[in-house]
Chain A
């Protein structure tokens, strides 16, 4: 036996009963340390904030709290509590944005706002901080200023092409080789499968990167003028919208989709309490017909978005949405462990309905919180980024130019 009394100081193996450290606990600890480090950087950086930035921050915090409180009161499954954070990130840089997000959530927790979220919101302050950082980063990449004829939209198109290539390659691998299962019992087979899984994942990421880099230098480099950039943006917006519609509908309505699992009876034959034992398997459409129908709806969605993007300068929102979507994904990944840890996945807001839905599908606390985040966050952040883009355009130039990045961030 270990005499130092530190025998528990190792990571848990699967199903271990002796005292050990759960991987999730290690994640919490690492997150805490990273958070403290970021806090120190923010503190150092905040010494350089100008008076204008320091005056903007309270207003941004108030906008966050006011908009967020309305959404909480309406019990909508989104948040809209980061519009001010994204605004400061865009105008005054990522560190100011991070500080705004942190303070907004902490102040919201101690303010008696009607319909307020109460002290729970303070636990999500790190997420708000990272949203500020990311919005500052995306603003510095020009998401809020690129016109459709700017050669720099090529970088966002290249990123889109890389992601699309990786997704297509994933399906090719799945059909041709098969994705190795990670739930096999045999430890030797499991290790082998894990290695192959990691290799495939790395291969897909590498392919996406190569495609993005090559595309950025060739087709999306726009050396011969940017006449076609607008067309590409319309195509990219339309295909993205179509793919999202298709994926969501297939998840729900496919022959093996979610509705096929709502049979009204549990595997052991007893009646399922979910939805009062309703049998919704009729909504799971058999293949070919279902595939064609969902495909047709997705094409209609793509055409609708494409038509909208051709009008005026609407297509320039494509980079804004890339920023919003990626920020939302990061926010979901960060808020899931927080929601699952102290709150058991439930935070008293409109998003609880989603969590209850995922829980009833048999997901764990963590998985439901993450699934809820993946549903709410990208939508919410895309909406917030779009609102900020509109506000930045409407802001008088005398106000905009008071901030360190105000001139560089918005198109004239």
Chain B
């Protein structure tokens, strides 16, 4: 299924073979450390995350995906460097604007925290199949109903986009002008968005009957079709990560 995989890239690295829950806990640990610990720790954290990325052979892909937060990171840097209130120490005067040291520092630290968080998240997503993660969570007692909502939503987004493209062509064939001035494009929105939304909502009825016919609402114990591997080392890794989270929180409280 191409559509459910999201950011996932198949592979057989060490990280790929870990249990999804282990990786999820590891990701939470990195997020916790990135936002709770002081700025110098970020360097070590970034190095460790990038090392893990390289070992898993995902470095080119992860670096390429950095264009997703590029706009955000750039605008964090620029807005804070230029408009930081209380910025006194002017570094560079760029015509009408001035880059202040306080603003630049604040921008760099905020952007770095987010960068580390993003690299860790994208590494997790690229090495973990959403189906496996949800299957592992359901096996641990999570609700299969919520798992259905998540997986189905991930499949519905591309399907909705495909429907929108079809309806766009259909309405154009009926003579709807979809280009031109801003006002004209705005007016074209209703005959385009209306059928997409209503069609998707009407489909809910058929899907409900189909699911009910297959015993979705049944309360009996269910068996799993997919079985997610859980090697013994993962148990120890999970214990270590939980201990690491406690250590991060204790350290964050202690150094205040």
Q: Which residues of A contact B (CB under 8 A)?
A: 8, 19, 43, 46-47, 49-52, 54-59, 61-63, 65-67, 87, 99, 103-104, 107, 109-113, 116, 118-120, 271, 273-277, 342-348, 352, 355-356, 359-360, 362-365, 391, 394-396, 398-399, 402
Given A276-B96, A356-B83, is A110 in contact with B157 using a C-beta cutoff of 8 Å? no
A391 and B201 contact, Cβ closer than 8 Å, known pairs A46-B145, A111-B154: yes
A399's partner among B110, B143, B204 (CB-CB below 8 A) is: B204
B contact patch SS: helix
CB distance from A365 to the nearest CB of B (A): 8
A residues within 8 A CB of B69? 118-120, 348
Query: B121 touching A107 by the CB < 8 A rule?
Result: no
Q: Show 12 residue pairs from A and B whose CB-CB distance is below 8 angstroms, ordered by the A residue.
A: A59-B201, A62-B159, A65-B153, A66-B196, A103-B153, A107-B153, A110-B130, A120-B72, A343-B110, A348-B69, A356-B82, A359-B83
Which residues of A sit under 8 angstroms from B75, Cβ to Cβ? 346, 348, 352
Look across to chain B and name the residue whose beta carbon is closest to the beta carbon of A396. Answer: B202
CB contacts under 8 Å to A, within B148-195, are 148-150, 152-157, 159-161, 164, 193-194
User: Interface size class for chain B?
Assistant: 35 or more
- Choose from B7, B97, B153, B205 the contact partner of A62 (Cβ within 8 Å): B153
Counting chain B CB atoms within 10 Å of each CB, the highest count among A61, A119, A277, A394 belongs to A119
Within 8 Å by CB of B152, from A8, A58, A363, A394, lies: A58
C-alpha gap A67/B69 in the complex (Å) = 20
Residues of A within 8 A of B96 (CB): 271, 273-277
A342 to B202, CA, bound (A): 40
Residue of A nearest to B253 (CB): A8
* Complex contact A120–B160 (CB within 8 A): no
Q: Which 4 A-B pairs have the closest CB atoms?
A: A348-B72, A359-B83, A58-B152, A62-B156
Cα distance A65–B161 in the bound complex, in angstroms: 10
Contact with A along B95-116 (1 / 0, CB 8 A): 1111000000011001001100
A364:B85 contact, CB within 8 angstroms: yes
Beyond A346-B79, A363-B85, whether A59 also contacts B156 by CB under 8 A is yes
Residue of A with least CB distance to B159 = A62
B251 to chain A, nearest CB (A): 14
Given A8-B256, A51-B211, decide whether A57 and B71 contact each other with a Cβ distance below 8 A.
no
Closest to B125 in A: A110
- Interchain CA distance A155-B97 in the complex, whole Å: 52
Look across to chain A and name the residue whose beta carbon is closest to the beta carbon of B156. Answer: A62
**Residue among A47, A49, A104, A111 facing the most chain B CB atoms (10 A cut-off):** A111
Residues of chain B within 8 A of A104, CB atoms compared: 153
